[in-house]
Chain A
C-alpha cells in the first residue's frame, strides 16, 4: 500500500511544499483569477435562483418543471464528466510524460492504474462539480432545504463523479487495446468538437429567442412539463436525480437505494477496472508507444516546394502552416470558428427589424455600429485561441529561434504577419456580409470597413505581444496558454481597446445620423470634434499595434530557455 501512496506523492508534494510567492504579480494574478471565477460562480447562482424561483411560482407545473430541469442538469453533467474523464484518462494513463519512469518502477500495473485513477477522478471532475454547485445551492434555497440536502448532495455528487471517472477509465483501458491512445484522443476530440458544433447550431437554428414571446413560452413550458418519458433506470444520472429529488421533497429516505446504487456501482466498476488493469494496462501503454510511426522511407530531397517568399519569413510561414495542418487538435478548431461565423451571420438574418418602433434606417445603422464591436470581439476570441499562443507554440524548440540569426523583433513581426491577414479577412468578411444584410448606408459601410481595418492590427499585435510576455515553452498544450493570467489580461485590454475606439467614434456618428434623419445640416463644431476623435482613434490603434509588440520583444529577448 505504501508503494501506491508513493505513486501519488509526486502530484501532492509540489502542493504541500509550495513556497509562498510574495511577488506582487502573483497576488494580482490570484486576485484577478479569483474575481473572474467568483463572478462566474455568483452569476450562475443568481441566474439559477432567478429561473428556479420563477418556475416555482407557476401554478400546477412549477415544481415539476424544476425537477425536469434538475434531471436535464444531471444528464448534461454526466455527459460532460464522461467526456472530460475520457480525455483525462487518455492523457494520464497513456500519454503523460512521466509514464516511462513510472512504468520502469517495480510496481504492479493495477497500482499504477489506481494511482492514476485518483488523479483522473479529481482532474476530470472538479470543474464540472465546482460550476454545478451554485445551481444545487439555488435548488436548496428555492425548495427551502438545509443541512440534510447538503449532506445528500455530497453523498450523491462524490460517487456520481467517481463513477463517471471509473467507467471512463475502464472504457479507455479496453478500447486502447484496439485503438492506440494518441489516435483515440484525436478521434475523440474531433467527434466531441463536431458534436458540440452540431448541438450549438441546432440550438441556435431552433430560434430560442422566440421564448421571449409569452404565448410561445407558455406553450413550451406546458409541453416540457407534459413530457412523461422516464429516464433510463441504468443511467447514473437517473440515480443521482432520484436521490436529489427525494431530498428536495424533504423525503431523503426515498433516495437511499439510488445513493447505494451510485456507491456500489463505483465500487463494482473500480473492482473490475483494477482487476483488468494487470492484463490490459501495460499492453495498451506499450502499443501506444509504438503507434503513430508510419515510416515511408522515402529518400530525402524527393519533395519539392515552391514559395513566393524567402528568408526567415518563408521559414516561419512554412513551419507555422505545416505544424498547424498536421496537428489535428489545431485545425479541427476551424470547425468551431466556422460555426461561430454561421451563427453570427444567421443572427443578423433573423433580426426582426420591422417589429421595432424605431425608424428602420436609424436602427439599421445603430446595429451596424454595434456590429463593429461584436465582430471585433469575435476577433478577440479567435486571436486569443490562435495568435496569443503563437510564441508559446514554439515550445522547447524555441532555442532554434534564440540561436538563429534573426532578431526577436523580426520573429514577432513575422508571427504577427502570419496571423494578421487571415484574421483581417475573417473580420472584414463578417462586417461586410452582416452590413449588407442590414442594408446599411454607404457611409456606415465605409466607416465599419475602415474601423475594422485600423483595429485588427492592434488586436492581433496585442495577442502576439502579450503571448510573448510569459510563454510556457514546456506546456503540453500551447492552446491552453490563453487560460492563464496573461490571456485574461489580453481579453480585458482588447475589450477596453475596442470600447475606447468605438466610444471615440460614437459621438460624431450619432450626430451625423441624427442630422441625416432630421434633414438638418451638421453644426460647424461637428467637423472639429470628428477630426479630433478620428485622430485619437488612429493614435490609439497605432499604440495598440506597436506598444504590446515592443514589450513582448523586450521580455522575450531577456528570457533564457
Chain B
C-alpha cells in the first residue's frame, strides 16, 4: 500500500535521508521510530506529498506520488504533529472544508461529520471557532477531518501528542479497527509503549537510514539478543559507542 524506493532527501548541505526503502502492506499498522532529527518527519512529509524527495519514488495504493499527486493524496488521511488549522473557521466548517476538498458526497457529510466529532468528544464544540480550541482539541479535530473521506492510508506524525489518556485509548482502538478493515496506518512516534501496543511492524530510522525493521518479536530476538522491550531495542540500536563515547569509555 505504501512503497518507498531509494528515497534521498538533501537540505542544502545536509542529507536527511539516505536511500530509504520501505514497503507497508494493506491493513498493517507500521510504527516508525527514531531519535530526534533521524528523518521521521521528513519521511512522513514525503509520503504525505508535502515535500518532494531529492531522488527516489513514493507510491501510495499503487499510485506514484510524483506522477499523480492528486489521486495519491485522495487516498491518504494525513495527521501532522502540530495542529495548525484555519483559526477563524468553526470545527464543523473545517469538516465541511475537508469534505468539499476530498469530494465527500453531500448526503453523507453531515452524518459522518457529526458521528466523527462525537467519537472524538468534539460534538459540543463543532460550532465554536477553532481559535478557542485547546491543543488537544485541535489535534482531535484534525483526526476527525483525516477520517472523513474514508482514507485507504492513514499517515500520522506523533498521534498521541496533546491527547488525554481516554483519547489515547480511543485512538489506539480506532487504529486497530481501521487496520482490521484494511486501512494502512503509517505512524511515527516517540511513545514506544504505543508502538509496542498497536504496531504490527516497526521500523527504526537513525541518521536517515532504516537500521532495523520487523515485528516487535523479530526486533527483540534478532537485533537486541532477547531484549525485554522496544525501549531496550531502541537504545541498543541508536546509542552505539560512536553516539555516546563518554558512556562507552565509562563502561
Contact = CB atoms under 8 A, between A and B. Distances in A.
A367 B243 CA distance: 75
A55 B10 CA distance: 64
A310 B106 CA distance: 9
Interface string A149-177: 00000000000000000000000000000
A399 B85 CA distance: 9
Interface stretch (A259-267, A289-297, A524-532): A289-297
Interface stretch (A73-81, A190-198, A273-281, A298-306): A298-306
A310 B52 CA distance: 29
B31 interface: no
Contacts of B86: 319, 323, 397, 400
Interface stretch (A90-98, A221-229, A401-409): A401-409
A400 B102 contact: no
B45 A292 contact: no
B15 interface: no
Contact of A405 (B50, B74, B91): B74
B73 A405 contact: yes
A301 B92 contact: yes
Given A301-B114, A319-B97, A403 B88 contact: no
Interface centre among A302, A314, A399 (most CB of B within 10 A): A399
Given A292-B132, A322-B93, A561-B50, A297 B100 contact: no
Interface string A367-395: 00000000000000000000000000001
A303 B97 contact: no
A318 interface: yes
Interface residues of A, number: 39
Contacts of A322: 88-89, 93
Interface in B206-238: none
Contacts of B126: 298-301
Nearest to A396: B84
Contacts of B194: none
A355 interface: no
A299 B132 contact: no
A292 B52 CA distance: 39
Contacts of B93: 318-319, 322
Interface string B89-120: 11111001110111100100010011001000
Interface residues of B, number: 46
Contacts of A352: none
A403 B102 contact: no
Contacts of A295: 128, 132
B88 A300 contact: no
B160 interface: no
Contacts of B82: 396
Contacts of B114: 300-301
Given A297-B125, A319-B89, A560-B51, A310 B100 contact: yes
B100 A403 contact: no
A315 B103 contact: no
Given A318-B93, A404-B101, A405-B101, A299 B123 contact: yes
B122 interface: yes
Given A323-B86, A323-B88, A399-B84, A302 B127 contact: yes
A300 B102 contact: no
Contacts of A397: 84-86
Given A397-B84, A560-B45, A312 B50 contact: no
Nearest to B99: A315
Interface string B27-66: 0000000000000000001001111100000000000000
Contacts of B163: none
A403 B117 contact: no
B247 interface: no
Contacts of A405: 70-71, 73-74, 101-103
Interface centre among B48, B50, B90, B101 (most CB of A within 10 A): B101
Contacts of A314: 100
A391 B131 CA distance: 20
Nearest to A474: B84
B84 A318 contact: no
A518 interface: no
Nearest to A326: B88
A399 B113 CA distance: 21
Contacts of B88: 322-323, 326-327
B76 interface: yes
Contacts of B90: 303
Contact of A558 (B52, B73, B132): B52
A58 to B, nearest CB: 56
A406 B93 CA distance: 18
A403 B124 contact: no
A296 B128 contact: yes
Contacts of A298: 124, 126-127
A292 to B, nearest CB: 7
Given A407-B70, A561-B50, 17 more contacts: A292-B131, A293-B132, A296-B128, A300-B126, A301-B126, A302-B127, A312-B101, A315-B101, A318-B100, A400-B85, A404-B101, A405-B102, A405-B103, A406-B70, A560-B50, A560-B51, A561-B51
19 contacts: A295-B128, A295-B132, A297-B125, A300-B92, A300-B124, A300-B126, A301-B110, A315-B96, A315-B98, A323-B89, A396-B82, A396-B84, A399-B84, A403-B49, A403-B73, A405-B70, A405-B73, A405-B103, A560-B50
Interface of A: 292-303, 305, 310-312, 314-315, 318-319, 322-323, 326-327, 395-397, 399-400, 402-407, 557-558, 560-561
